Structure 1
Amino acid sequence: MSSLDKAIQTQINNIQKKTGKSLAELAAIAKKSGLSKHGELRDMFKEKLGLGHGDANALVHAIFESDGTRAAEGKNEDAVLDEIYSGAKAGFRPIHEKLMKEINKFGEFEIVPKKGYVSLRRKKQFAMIGPKTNTRFEVGINAKDFKQNARLLEQPKGSMCNYIVNVSDAREVDAELVAWLKSAFEGAE
């Protein structure tokens, strides 16, 4: 079992403890709701069970036995990146390449391609990078207590990342952004 699989299983176990319900019981709640879309179920679990975004998201993936990793399974990293950066999102590839060039200087970490973004992990995820929409590229950063900055958008508690930085051009991958990513990298040991 990979460290990622162990982390996901630990998260699911913690969700079951928090809610006092087994995964089968949680799946039954999802089925009974009549909802079928991932986002609808995630939001329902957040509202009804008080789960944070990350936990609710992981729970829906566990129930559907589908996560972004499975969508990328069996494909090499380049093939997944070609899918992520295709069509209207193709122009974001240089941002991705510049970010990875800088992040690779930090040391060893795991690259986990998902359906629409790339998760970067050590013992835990420290960053997520990829196009959020056809016109917006996001760098998600998992770190705490950064000084307030107009570029650094603090996310609600329970989100997949603590901060988001929107990037529209590879030139915006500057010393400030790299320093934030390095801090998150160092905190993910």
Structure 2
Amino acid sequence: MDQAAQTMIDNLHKNTGKSLEEWIEIVKKENFTKHGEVIKFLKETHGFTHGFANLVAHKSKGSDAGSASNTDDLVEAQYKGKEHFKPLYDKLLADILKFGKDVEVAPKKAYVSLRRKKQFGCLNPATKTRFEVGINLKGQPGSGKLEEVTAANAMFSHKINLADINDADSEVLDWLKKAYDNAG
């Protein structure tokens, strides 16, 4: 388990008085079928922040990178039916890894999280026609390809939608690099 996940688990217990295992039991008794239902329940009923609700939701469903037996399997599963986006992912990841030795790549069930001291981005084959790059740049106005995300409690402040590998240009990498720099 990575250090960031362990810190969140420790803080969950400190903040709520219950362990991750206790929260998983509570959630499983509700028989939710969807990730979003778990998040909504924890936020509305127990006052969780999005981050802690997301952690418990993933752990209760075994859909986080730490619960997977092989993180390569998580990435492979993301591209089933969206194989045309895998070269785009590979290109972006190769360029992002050049930002520094402290880039942490954490595959999840639906996306790949990019972290430094904190999460700065994600790579997500969102649909068969749209690849989404999530970026954390709070306070930055949208500009060019960078769109502000206005949804409450969104994981990222901005996103960039790409249709193919040719859209992964220097502007996309510049925004990701800025988010990486801010996360250090």
TM-score normalised by the chain length of structure 2: 0.80
Cα 1:73–1:126 shift into 2, 3 Å? farther
| Superposition misfits of 4+ residues, deviation over 6 angstroms | none
Which stretches in structure 2 are left out of the alignment for 5+ residues? none
Structure possessing the higher relative contact order (Cα contacts under 8 Å, 6 or more residues apart): 1
1:129 Cα offset (Å): 0.2
How many residues are aligned here? 182
Contact 1:155 1:164 in 2 (8 A): no
Match of 2:117 in 1: 123
Contact 2:124 2:132 in 1 (8 A): yes
Correspondence 1:174 to 2:149: no
Question: Aligned partners of 2:55 and 2:75: how far apart in 1?
Answer: 22
Query: CA deviation digits over 1:130-173, x for unaligned, max 9?
Result: 21222321111123221233642325454322222211122222
Correspondence 1:160 to 2:168: no
Match of 1:136 in 2: 130
Identity of aligned residues (%): 41
Correspondence 1:9 to 2:6: yes
1:91 Cα offset (Å): 1.5
Question: Aligned partners of 1:72 and 1:90: how far apart in 2?
Answer: 21
Question: Aligned partners of 1:179 and 1:38: how far apart in 2?
Answer: 32
Superposition RMSD in Å: 2.6
Query: CA deviation digits over 1:60-119, x for unaligned, max 9?
Result: 23344x2331464335x4x554432232x1111232133123213312212222233222
Contact 1:155 1:161 in 2 (8 A): no
TM-score normalised by the chain length of structure 1: 0.78
Which stretches in structure 1 are left out of the alignment for 5+ residues? none
